[in-house]
Amino acid sequence: MHEEALLRDLVRKALEVARQERAGRVTRVRIWVGALSHLAGPELEARWTHAVRGTALEGARVDLELSPDRTDPNAEAVMLRSLDVD
């Protein structure tokens, strides 16, 4: 499933950034969601909670920026914008 692949990649990237920052815990994650990504806000949040269970990302606040632009070159993407870490 395309959506699952997007989510796995996003989690992998976020964990890599957390490792690079030597973070014990991530407190906030900012995610940009393309208009054609097929991951709606509530659906992404629910899947995210399950995907990050047991990781440094568990419990972090998730801020979603939902793009309405269907013509954006990244409209099918979900991208990590930033992390806040402890």
Q: What domain count does the chain have?
A: 1
For strands 78-85 and 26-33, give the pairing: antiparallel
For residue 3, what pLDDT is reported? 75
Phi, psi at residue 28, to the nearest 5°?
-155, 140
pTM score, whole prediction: 0.87
Q: Measure the CA–CA gap between 70 and 51, rounded to whole angstroms.
A: 27
Residue 73, domain extent = 2-85
Query: For 22-75, what is each residue's pLDDT tens digit?
Result: 988 899 999 999 999 887 777 788 888 999 999 999 999 999 999 999 999 999
Q: Which residue has the higher pLDDT, 6 or 15?
A: 15
Kind and range of the H or E run holding 14: helix 2-20
Residue 65 pairs in a beta bridge with 32
The CATH code of the domain that includes 22 is: 3.30.2320.50
